[in-house]
Amino acid sequence: MLSKYIFYFLSSVAIYAALMVLISKKPIHSVLYLTLAFFAIAGHYILLNAQFLAVVHIIVYAGAIMVLFLFTVMLLNLNIEGEFPKKNIIKFAAVIVGGLILITLIGTFRTYDLEIIKNPTLNQIGLVKNLGKVLFKEYLLPFELCSILFLAAMVGAVMLGKKDIQ
Residue numbers at the binding site for other proteins (CB under 8 A)? 26, 28, 32, 35, 51-52, 55-56, 58-59, 62-64, 67, 70-71, 74-75, 127-128
Nearer to other proteins, 105 or 122 (CB): 122
> What contacts 50, CB < 8 A, 6 or more positions away?
125, 126
Nearer to other proteins, 6 or 62 (CB): 62
Farthest-apart Cα atoms in the chain, separation: 63
User: Which of 45, 47, 35, 103 is CA-nearest to residue 71?
Assistant: 35
Nearer to other proteins, 71 or 109 (CB): 71
Nearer to other proteins, 116 or 131 (CB): 131
The distance of closest approach from Cβ of residue 60 to other proteins in the complex, given in angstroms and rounded to an integer, is 9
Phi-psi map region of 82: left, alpha, beta (phi>0 left; psi -120 to 50 alpha):
left
For Cα atoms 40, 28, 8, give the angle at the middle one, nearest 5 degrees: 20
